[in-house]
Structure 1
Amino acid sequence: MKKNYTKIVLDLLMAITFVLLMNPRVLDGLPFHEIAGLIIGVAILVHIGLNYRWVVNTTKKILDPKLPKKTRFSYLLNILLLIAMAAVIITGILISKVVFPSFAIQGGHALRELHGLSADATLAFVGLHVGVHWQWILTICKKAFKSKEGKLRKGVIASFVLSLAILAGGIQWYSSTATFSMGEFKQEQSGQTVNNGSNGNTSETRQGPPNGDFRGEKFHGKEGHGGKSNPFLVVLNYFAIWAAIIIPTYYIEKRILRKKLKSRQMEPKLS
């Protein structure tokens, strides 16, 4: 059971981090965007590791006709989600201006477009993934917050609220105090002195970021969806988008299960 709680907490932190990454203007701009992107890549590997047995067992049975359709759909959805996330991370590295500037491809407009499309696809796949597993999530949360007698576990609720408060406070602190030294990276230099060799002449060349400033509201690049850069508004915005995907998915699955149950109940009467 503790493993399931770990999954829920990890997935929640991944969800919050991912939606913050959907807008590269939040929390000091590209430095946070690229570093957090790598961290979420590691978190995905941890997530896969926590579900290692399910992945192995389902892979072995994927061609078995007896395998439930929901399990097969979930497996294929996870494959698509993994491909989309891999595309986001790889294209992110190839257009990096902060963490991996040496890997950056000049004029990689197509890569930036692919990066954005992959992020959108990931957003949709995550919504479907959560919608398919929503009943399991509700069951785990009920067990976490309620005792066997049906009473609320005040200690668990207090810990959960405190964790959210610390996370919110950390985000607010970072957004208000974090600073980034533009001179640490060549790609972010607003000016550079170039020596012309034996002439001894120097000229100052402006080399600002091709897509605008890397920090906060000044970032005017094509990456991301724009909009407000307030981290709390960004989280609310994309969680609302997820809700628009999760709710219909959950009720469609529920309706399908009801039809299956009715058909099973009708089979003895027909026979």
Structure 2
Amino acid sequence: MDKNRWLYLTGALLYVDFTALVILGLLLKFAIPTGPRAGGSPPSFLGVTRHSWADIHGTLGILFVALVVIHIALNWTWVVNSSKRYFQDKWAQALLILSAVWVPVLFVGWIASRF
């Protein structure tokens, strides 16, 4: 398969995955019940427990990150050329600073999600 087909496939999968993440996140927040129900059975939605929906949501999130990495790798030439255009001689430092800032943001988000 050529690069354009890979880009199309990756973009389509990113769209479907992100849409599923948003819908499932909204369902988890607003529609799927929390806490135990009468008789001690776990809360469920469409016959699937809330815990299982959260597992699916987490798996979709991991898939999304993997697809983003693939998408960036497929577009790396564009990233470098755009960085050179905007930052001239300091393009490599700009990408390094962006990475150095973005990784702690992700880490803080991960820590915050644990509480």
Q: What is the TM-score of this pair, normalised by structure 1?
A: 0.29
Corresponding residue for 1:137? 79
1:10-89 → structure 2 map (5 Å cutoff)? 69-89=2-22
Partners of 2:106 and 2:20 lie apart in 1 by: 26
Partners of 1:112 and 1:72 lie apart in 2 by: 32
Partners of 2:64 and 2:24 lie apart in 1 by: 14
Deviation at 1:233, TM superposition (A): 6.7
Q: Deviations over 1:238-259 (max 9, x none)?
A: xxxxxxxxxxxxxxxxxxxxxx
Structure 1 ranges of 4+ moved more than 4 A = none
Q: Which residues of structure 2 form unaligned runs of 5+?
A: 35-42, 44-49, 111-115
Secondary structure (helix, strand or coil) at the match of 2:60 reads helix
Structure 1 118/136 Cα, relative in aligned 2: closer, same or farther at 3 Å?
same
Identity over aligned pairs, percent:
28
Deviation at 1:232, TM superposition (A): 4.2
Deviation at 1:152, TM superposition (A): 5.5
Partners of 1:123 and 1:90 lie apart in 2 by: 17
- Residues 92 and 115, structure 1, Cα contact 8 Å, conserved in 2: yes
- Residues 94 and 105, structure 1, Cα contact 8 Å, conserved in 2: no
- State the Cα RMSD in Å: 2.8
Q: Computing the radius of gyration over CA atoms, which structure comes out larger, 1 or 2?
A: 1
Partners of 2:106 and 2:17 lie apart in 1 by: 25
Q: Which amino acid aligns with 2:26?
A: I
Partners of 2:17 and 2:81 lie apart in 1 by: 28
Corresponding residue for 2:46? none
Deviation at 1:86, TM superposition (A): 1.1
Q: What is the TM-score of this pair, normalised by structure 2?
A: 0.63
Structure 1 117/152 Cα, relative in aligned 2: closer, same or farther at 3 Å?
closer
Deviation at 1:105, TM superposition (A): 3.5
Q: Deviations over 1:30-67 (max 9, x none)?
A: xxxxxxxxxxxxxxxxxxxxxxxxxxxxxxxxxxxxxx
Q: Within the alignment, does 1:116 sit opposite 2:58 as a pair?
A: yes
Deviation at 1:109, TM superposition (A): 1.7
Q: Which amino acid aligns with 2:32?
A: A
Deviation at 1:136, TM superposition (A): 0.7
1:249-260 → structure 2 map (5 Å cutoff)? none
Partners of 1:124 and 1:130 lie apart in 2 by: 10
Q: Within the alignment, does 1:95 sit opposite 2:28 as a pair?
A: yes
Q: Which amino acid aligns with 1:135?
A: T
Task: Tell me the matched-pair count.
Answer: 87
Structure 1 86/139 Cα, relative in aligned 2: closer, same or farther at 3 Å?
same
Partners of 1:117 and 1:142 lie apart in 2 by: 36
Structure 1 132/104 Cα, relative in aligned 2: closer, same or farther at 3 Å?
same
